Each structure stands twice: as structure tokens, then as C-alpha cells.
Amino acid sequence: MPGPTYAKRYLDVALVQMDCVLGDVDHNLERIHREIAAHRDAADLIVFPELATTGYGIGSRFTETALHVDSAEVRALRDASTGTHVALGMSEETSSFNFYNAQVHLKDGALRHVHHKIYLPNYGIFEERKYFTPGRRYQTFEEDGWRFAPFVCGDAWNPALVHFAAAELAHVLVFSVNSPEGGMGSRISSKEGWQRLSRFYAAVYGCYVIMVNRVGTEQGVRFWGESEVIDPFGRRVVASDGDDEEVLTARLDLDEVRTARTALHTIRDEDFGFLARRLADVTEVHRTSG
């Protein structure tokens, strides 16, 4: 019997597990350009960690280090994306003078999508709400027949947001991450949490998960790396085994998504009318509970 016809069945990806120099935008951009140039010919998608342009703990320097998406620096990155698709974590300033922790997608010389991190952590060692504005909308988007769902670190820890992305039939969840050791105290392991989340989401929704975490030490905080790709059955395709700088490569197969989703119908069998009614009830409870 004839099989399905795909606009692009295979997607070759490169995960750039890199260190960043805190606050040195020029240095970080130079490194990003080198990685794009090195992998552009072989990779359909190159993914960088969260806040790759600035480093994580930028603090009160957030106004000095953010970039506009129409700045000369981002235009140069846009030009560098010719022939590939780049998912870049960066600090973005908008024309309204809001500052966002963003995942920017550049492809074939054009700006294709911008996601603003919605769930900004303000607990443990994290203080993002002091500096960044939370995103107010969420959208997936399509390129070459693949539907991508962008997430910046803490966004992925909100299962409802992932459920919305899966409801839009995303094939790939793209997690740009800055996850350190001990970020949430001694009782909660961020590393184990990420590994559980990635496998759970991939297997339940029949999608690929790309998780790119940075490495290095910044202001005494160590980032543990271990970036990975999980297939639609919850199995590792490729993974780093530590916190060294490296680039991981993998091939994603859209037919694997098809096979997984025809075996487990999580979204097909969802009752979104029921969810909407129940959400309205819960919202009212929270509104009136004080």
C-alpha cells in the first residue's frame, strides 16, 4: 500500500551545548556565528540554549545586553541562517521597551517566529520576573511540513502549555534551557526532572523532544548540560553524557511521529469542550477563593 507523502520526511538537527560569557554579547555572538557556519550545510535545524547571547545571570544589566529583532546583530544572524533553521535563545527588547527571555527562529535569511518565555521563575536561585516581562501568547509554527513548539526552560515545566502545543499537533518540542545544579534546593533534582519531563511528553504526545542545556560555571553556579533528543516513543536518540561543550547531531523521522500517534491517540481522543468548561470552573474557584 502507498505510504504518506511528506514535504520533508527527515530533519537533521544539531544541538549546540555551549558555554557563554556573562554579559559579553559580542563574544557570544561570534561563537554562535561559528557554530552556524560549521553546521549549516549538514543541519536542517541548529538549536542553541536559553539566553545564549548574554549568559543567564545578567541581572540589572538586562537593559544593556538585550537585542531588538531588527538590530544589526540579529540581521547578521538572520543572514547567517541562509540554508538552515536556527533556534536561538536571546534577550530581546521590543519597541515598547519591554524585555523578554526569547527563543527566536531564523530560517533562510528571514525571521520566522519569536516566542517569549511565559513562565518566568522567581524561586530558588532564580529572579527572572525582576527583569523580564512574561510572554502573553503561545503559538506553534510550521516549516517544511514540520510543526515546531518553542519552549524556554521553565515553560516546559507547565504541562498545560505543553498540552496546548500538542493540541496544535506539534511534531517537535524545542526546549532551550539554562538549568543549573541545585537551582531548586537539595531535595529537587533539575537534571532528573528534565529527564522525566522529556520522556513523558515525547511518549504521551507522540512527538520529538529536543532539549539543549548550556554548560559552564557562572557566578558560582554550574550548568550540567546533558542535552538530548527523545523520540516519539520516549527513547533517547542522542544525548550528551556530561557538562563539556559539544555539538550533538541526530536525524528525526516524521514517519516515527506517524507510527507513535496511530498507536496512542492522546490528542485525537481529547475532549476540548470539556476542558474549556472545566477550566472556566477552576478559574472561577481561584477568582473567588481569595
Q: Show pLDDT as tens, one digit a residue, over the chain (290 residues).
A: 567 888 899 999 999 999 999 999 999 999 999 999 999 999 999 999 999 999 999 999 999 999 999 999 999 999 999 999 999 999 999 999 999 999 999 999 999 999 999 999 988 788 999 999 999 999 999 999 999 999 999 999 999 999 999 999 999 999 999 999 887 777 888 899 999 999 999 999 999 999 999 999 999 999 999 999 999 999 999 999 999 999 999 999 999 999 999 999 999 999 999 999 999 999 999 989 86
**Which CATH number does the domain housing residue 200 bear?**
3.60.110.10
Q: How far, in Å, CA of 251 to CA of 93, rounded?
A: 34
What cell numbers appear for 247 in the block? 555539538
Does the residue 62 lie in any domain?
A: yes
Helix, strand, coil distribution of the chain in percent, nearest 5 = 30, 30, 40
Does the residue 107 lie in any domain?
A: yes
Does the residue 27 lie in any domain?
A: yes
Model pTM score: 0.96
Place of cell 529527564: 195
What pLDDT is attached to residue 290?
A: 65
What pLDDT is attached to residue 247?
A: 98
Does the residue 289 lie in any domain?
A: no
CB 243 within 8 A of CB 224: yes
Q: Which domain holds residue 118?
A: 10-265
What cell numbers appear for 234 in the block? 520516549
Helix (H, G, I), strand (E, B) or coil at 44: coil
What pLDDT is attached to residue 98?
A: 97
Does the residue 14 lie in any domain?
A: yes
Does the residue 120 lie in any domain?
A: yes
Does the residue 152 lie in any domain?
A: yes
Q: How far, in Å, CA of 150 to CA of 152, rounded?
A: 7
Pairing of strands 146-152, 110-116: unpaired
Phi, psi of 205 (to 5 degrees): -100, -5
- State the Cα angle at 278 between 138 and 165, rounded to 5°: 25
Total tally of structural domains belonging to the chain:
1
